[in-house]
Amino acid sequence: KGEIYFQGTNIRKMNKQEYKKYRINTQYIPQDPYASLNPYRRVIDLLIDVVKYHKLASTDEEALEVVRDVMVRVGLTPPEKYLKRYPFQLSGGERQRLSIARAVVLKPRYIVADEPVTMLDASLKAGVMKTLKNNVRDIGASLLFITHEISLLQFFGSQTRVYVMYLGEILEHCRLSDLVTNPLHPYTKALLDAIPLPDPTMRESRKVSITGQIPSPINKPSGCPLHPRCLYVKPICRDEKPPLKNVEKDHFVACHLY
């Protein structure tokens, strides 16, 4: 439930021109680079159609130059090597770089990246993350980065704002530096404890804070959504949903322990 506002305007109440502007300025990078690209279209077609449709260039030559420029910015170099290839002729990392290129070529104000490196091998993740970060910075866009890997957030800096969600509910939000050094919610602590550590002695010192399986999001538990799995559960947790409270400076948590 709720409403979505973009630059002060409710997107449900936008007229045709406002909505078109919103669509241009809000772009999406999907999770799966294997399923999100039309397999029958070449790289040049996937990019140049966007440029022409939104009139980012007045001639075919200018449109091709825009395409070449964005390909260089996302690391698909030299462009001539990739322009006439089909998606199946690209590696997983190259396909996701192409998805990033499609999003940033319009120079949007807001980008939603839905677990953009989950489908990639660990050796490719760092390169694609740096590409995403640099392009978002260069065009001055805001980024909503969705991930289940907290370790990836380090690419965006310690002051990045992080929202921890479970079954569609915000359980905690604060700066990344605070989240890592002082996690408050049991679920946040469990997420941090799930990050692999190379030192066996450090692994053994970790405490398990949640158990069991994730409930159905269609039939969520009453009260706190985590209470069936939480080791710190109290009677109030089963009956009352905890409000999101500012318990420390700019650090919010929804938990009856605070």
- Residue 214, amino acid: I
Which whole-number Å values give the CA distances from 35 to 39, 87, 131, in the listed order?
A: 9, 10, 21
Q: What is the CATH number of domain 26-147?
A: 3.40.50.300
The tokens for 238 are: 């089963």
Is the model's pLDDT at 241 over the cut of 90?
yes
Strand partners, 253: 172, 245
Strands 169-175 and 142-146, bridge-based pairing: unpaired
Mean pLDDT of 3-18: 94
- pLDDT, residue 200, reads 72
Chain centroid to Cα 17, Å, comes to 28
Tokens of 27: 């772009």
What residue spans in the chain does CATH classification 3.40.50.300 cover? 26-147
User: Residue 145 forms beta bridges with which residues?
Assistant: 113
Per-chain mean pLDDT for the chain: 92
Q: What's the pLDDT score for residue 50?
A: 93
Contact indicator for 166, 185 with CB cutoff of 8 Å: no
Task: Give the model confidence (pLDDT) of 51-78 as tens digits.
Answer: 999 999 999 999 999 999 999 999 999 9
Helix axes 92-104, 43-53, angle to 10 degrees: 10
Kindly report, residue by residue over 30-53, the tens digit of the pLDDT: 998 888 899 999 999 999 999 999
Sequence-ordered list of residues with C-beta below 8 angstroms from that of 151, at least 6 positions apart, any chain: 195
pLDDT in tens, 75-126: 999 999 999 999 999 999 999 999 999 999 999 999 999 999 988 888 889 9
| Residues forming beta bridges with residue 204, ordered by sequence position | none
How do residues 138-192 score in pLDDT, each as one tens digit? 999 999 999 998 889 999 988 999 999 999 999 999 999 999 999 999 999 999 8
CB-count exposure of residue 183 (10 Å: 0-12, 13-18, 19+): buried
Query: Per DSSP, which regions of 45-184 are E strands?
Result: 110-114, 142-146, 161-166, 169-175
Residue of 178, 177, 172 whose CA lies nearest to 226: 172
Give the integer Cα–Cα distance in Å for 94 and 80.
14
